[in-house]
């Protein structure tokens, strides 16, 4: 058996080295030339700003925009940021986490229905999922502002059936912010889930049923594991932007619902404490990357990285 494998690799290597060396190095060079614009783009708009951001986070906080900042490698900015904004960091990840879980439970049945049950309405339903993107993020979030308004239909109905107390409100609460986050990032969960459900060969489900799995077990043992790549991708596409979001908290919440995005926003644009804002940004980035790596490892979906 191993002999066969060895034989195959040898054969593959053999064919790879057959062409003469000159055209190959030429071709390789062409490849690099084609990469250049993208690399330049990445360098200018990602690498340089990232380095600049990290540098800013180490400036002396006593400086100011007008008189300039001094580079003192003020590592202390980080513990300062963590102690000052621990609540907002925690709240961001909690809201984003809840919104992601809610989005999974809303999106999975929807994606499943579109992939397997929609018949000729499949494309229409997909268009409807994407339709909100035709208006801006801001407008959609403002719409939620009026949906959840104190004198609105939703609050009124909830009060009538007694779920909400007479003086209760939805707007300016955690519920409103999480609802806004869930709504805004739902399509990012639905689309990758749909893409990976759609690819599943239904004959595999039939095979599972033939092998003594009832409908639910067939789903749990075949459909769900095969849709895992979509689930992981959707989770990342929802959780990452949701934890850095500040619009939903701004428009649907109060300072009591402030997320780390609002903190960064305020430090950059209102307080003008650039080192503090940069330290928060870098912390957020590192935290997210760590969580994502851990999550992807655990779920066994490494090929997404």
Partner 1 sequence: MTETQTPAAGAQLSLRALTKRFEKFVAVDALDLDVGAGQFFALLGPSGCGKTTTLRMIAGLEEPTSGQILLGGDDIARLKPYKRPVNTVFQNYALFPHLNIFENVAFGLRRRRIGNVKPKVDEMLELVQLGAMATRKPSQLSGGQQQRVALARALINQPRILLLDEPLGALDLKLRRQMQLELKRIQTEVGITFIHVTHDQEEAMTMADTIAVMNNGVVEQLGGPTELYDNPATTFVSNFLGQSNLIRGTVKTAGADVVVDVHGTTAAVPADRARVTSGDVWVGVRPEKVELTAAGQAAGAPGTTQTGTTLAGGVVAEVAFIGVSTQYLVEMPWGQQLTVFVQNNGARDDFRPGDPVDVHWRGEHTFLLDAAQDAHAGEEE
Instruction: List interacting residues with partner 1 (CB under 8 A).
Output: 1, 201, 203-204, 206-214, 217, 221-222, 225-226
Given the complex with partner 1, which of 191 and 208 has the nearer CB atom? 208
Facing residues of 71 across strands? 59
Given the complex with partner 1, which of 125 and 228 has the nearer CB atom? 228
Q: At closest approach, how far in Å is the CB of 228 from partner 1?
A: 8
Q: At closest approach, how far in Å is the CB of 125 from partner 1?
A: 25
Q: At closest approach, how far in Å is the CB of 120 from partner 1?
A: 16
Of 297, 102, 288, the closest CA to residue 180 belongs to 102
Q: At closest approach, how far in Å is the CB of 197 from partner 1?
A: 14
Given the complex with partner 1, which of 24 and 224 has the nearer CB atom? 224
Assigned token pair, 168: 């209760």
Given the complex with partner 1, which of 75 and 207 has the nearer CB atom? 207
Given the complex with partner 1, which of 55 and 213 has the nearer CB atom? 213
Q: At closest approach, how far in Å is the CB of 135 from partner 1?
A: 39
Given the complex with partner 1, which of 199 and 297 has the nearer CB atom? 199
Q: At closest approach, how far in Å is the CB of 104 from partner 1?
A: 19
């Amino acid at each position: 058996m191993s002999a066969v494998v060895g034989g195959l690799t040898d054969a593959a290597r053999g064919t790879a080295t057959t062409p003469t060396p000159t055209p190959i190095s030429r071709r390789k060079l062409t490849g690099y030339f084609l990469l250049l614009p993208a690399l330049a783009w990445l360098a200018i708009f990602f690498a340089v700003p990232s380095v600049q951001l990290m540098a800013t986070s180490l400036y002396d906080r006593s400086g100011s925009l007008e008189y300039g900042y001094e580079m003192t490698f003020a590592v202390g900015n980080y513990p300062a940021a963590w102690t000052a904004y621990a609540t907002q960091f925690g709240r961001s990840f909690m809201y984003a986490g809840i919104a992601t879980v809610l989005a999974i439970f809303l999106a999975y049945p929807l994606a499943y229905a579109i992939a397997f049950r929609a018949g000729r309405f499949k494309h229409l339903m997909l268009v409807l999922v994407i339709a909100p993107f035709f208006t801006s993020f801001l407008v959609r979030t403002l719409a939620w502002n009026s949906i959840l308004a104190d004198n609105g239909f939703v609050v009124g109905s909830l009060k009538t059936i007694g779920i909400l107390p007479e003086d209760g409100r939805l707007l300016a609460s955690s519920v409103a912010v999480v609802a806004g986050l869930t709504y805004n990032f739902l399509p990012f969960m639905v689309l990758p889930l749909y893409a990976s459900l759609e690819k599943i060969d239904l004959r595999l489900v039939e095979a599972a049923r033939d092998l003594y799995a009832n409908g639910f077990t067939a789903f749990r043992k075949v459909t769900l594991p095969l849709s895992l790549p979509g689930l992981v991708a959707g989770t990342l596409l929802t959780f990452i932007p949701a934890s850095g979001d500040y619009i939903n908290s701004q428009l649907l919440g109060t300072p009591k619902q402030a997320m780390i995005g609002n903190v960064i926003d305020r430090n950059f644009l209102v307080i003008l404490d650039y080192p503090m804002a940069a330290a928060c940004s870098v912390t957020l980035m590192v935290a997210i990357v760590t969580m994502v790596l851990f999550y992807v490892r655990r779920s066994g979906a490494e090929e997404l990285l």
